[in-house]
Amino acid sequence: MRLSALTEQIVDQAVSIYQDLAYGSVVPKKRAQPAGDGDGVLGMFHKEHVETVPGHTCSRYSMRLGNRNYPFMKLLLQEHLIAGEFFFGVDTHDQMDIGPGFPDYEQWLAVRKFNGELKRRIEESFEYAGLDTAAVVRRLVVESCGDQGKPCRGLVLIVDDEEDLAAAVEILMKRSGFRTCTVHDGKSGIVATRELMPDLVLLDYELPELDGLKVIEQLRADELTRDIPILLNSSARMSMANIQKADGFLSKPFPESLLNEMIDRVLSKRNRSRDGHTAPTSATSGDGGGSAL
């Protein structure tokens, strides 16, 4: 959806669906209120991402609506992969680095699981109601891709639990000349990496049960897979120490052009490493903590 097509009625419909599922239909619905970040319908949102990486603009608008167990969950209107096309989604906003030693760890895991399931239900309801979701991005990517006739550049393993966006990325990788394989959780990512030995792993951080950092830890500990390049991506704010565990980092959302640029950088870094020359590779299109080189 182009921003020019966004109306107050569309936003109110998205907010109503969100609130019904997040709080229950017995809760009086609140009309979306201006957040003070702009004029018109976009004034209901906070604008979160601008052009942090020069030449790679990708914007995201958010509205913090919370849910009955967690006050920080957000309704999103975001641009990702296709310039100028926005879709509705949910940010569970719960990607804090909390380990087993933290107080109330089990309760925190239960909240994260609840948020993940609620996110899926809300986004499915958006799609059922005819609102633009990541499924529309997937469709647009399919429509824009033809047989490019390029020589194969290698195999990319995509590990991401956002199935529609993962499918869109898979098509874009094929358009760039790569063979692809996609899995949707961390454990499957480890198994697929060991079996397929891909030229690159495009790894999401926010994965169920086994997150991207734990996947990296296990792959690096295995002599068979420790040298396989890993491009980590996340919408969470991450420390530089965690970013540097991968060969490159992308902060979501990001446009197709930046994805291709980062893959080229990571693969070039691998080639330089074989020659004895290494350099850090990271980029951010948001507040993830990385820096573009």
Each residue of 88-114: b (16+ CB within 10 Å) or e? bbbbbbbbeeeeeeeeeeeeeeeebeb
What is the C-alpha separation between 233 and 247, in angstroms, rounded? 11
Specify whether 7 is located in the same domain as 31. yes
Is residue 270 assigned to a domain? yes
Specify whether 245 is located in the same domain as 150. yes
What is the C-alpha separation between 117 and 73, in angstroms, rounded? 13
Specify whether 65 is located in the same domain as 175. no
**Nearest alpha-carbon partner for 203 in 218, 213, 195, 194:** 213
Is residue 242 assigned to a domain? yes
Specify whether 187 is located in the same domain as 228. yes
What is the C-alpha separation between 166 and 262, in angstroms, rounded? 17
Is residue 160 assigned to a domain? yes
- What is the pLDDT tens value at each position of the chain, 293 positions in all? 888 899 999 999 999 999 999 998 655 455 555 554 456 788 888 887 555 555 666 788 999 999 999 999 999 998 887 778 899 999 887 666 666 777 887 888 888 889 989 999 999 999 999 999 988 888 877 776 555 566 778 899 999 998 888 999 999 998 888 989 999 999 999 999 999 999 999 999 988 878 899 999 999 999 999 999 999 998 877 888 888 899 999 888 888 888 999 999 899 877 666 555 544 455 544 444 433 33
Is residue 283 assigned to a domain? no
Is residue 71 assigned to a domain? yes
What CATH number has the domain bearing residue 227? 3.40.50.2300
Specify whether 177 is located in the same domain as 232. yes
Specify whether 7 is located in the same domain as 56. yes
Specify whether 19 is located in the same domain as 116. yes
Specify whether 67 is located in the same domain as 165. no
Cβ neighbors of 135 (< 8 A, separation 6 or more) are 127, 164
Is residue 293 assigned to a domain? no
Beta strand 74-79 with 155-159: parallel, antiparallel or unpaired? unpaired
Beta strand 86-91 with 248-251: parallel, antiparallel or unpaired? unpaired
Is residue 281 assigned to a domain? no
Rounded-to-10 torsion of CA 169, 88, 284, 174: 10
Specify whether 107 is located in the same domain as 153. no
pLDDT on residue 130: 93
The structural domain count of the chain equals 2
**Nearest alpha-carbon partner for 16 in 60, 61, 58, 63:** 63
Specify whether 163 is located in the same domain as 242. yes
* DSSP sequence for 106-142: HHHHHHHHHHHHHHHHHHHHHHHTT---HHHHHHHHH
Is residue 288 assigned to a domain? no
pLDDT on residue 290: 39
pLDDT on residue 156: 92
pLDDT on residue 24: 83
pLDDT on residue 289: 42
pLDDT on residue 293: 31
Question: Does the predicted TM-score (pTM) go above 0.85?
Answer: no
Specify whether 26 is located in the same domain as 63. yes
Question: By residue range, what is the domain housing residue 18?
Answer: 3-135
DSSP, collapsed to helix, strand or coil, labels residue 227 as: coil
Specify whether 129 is located in the same domain as 216. no
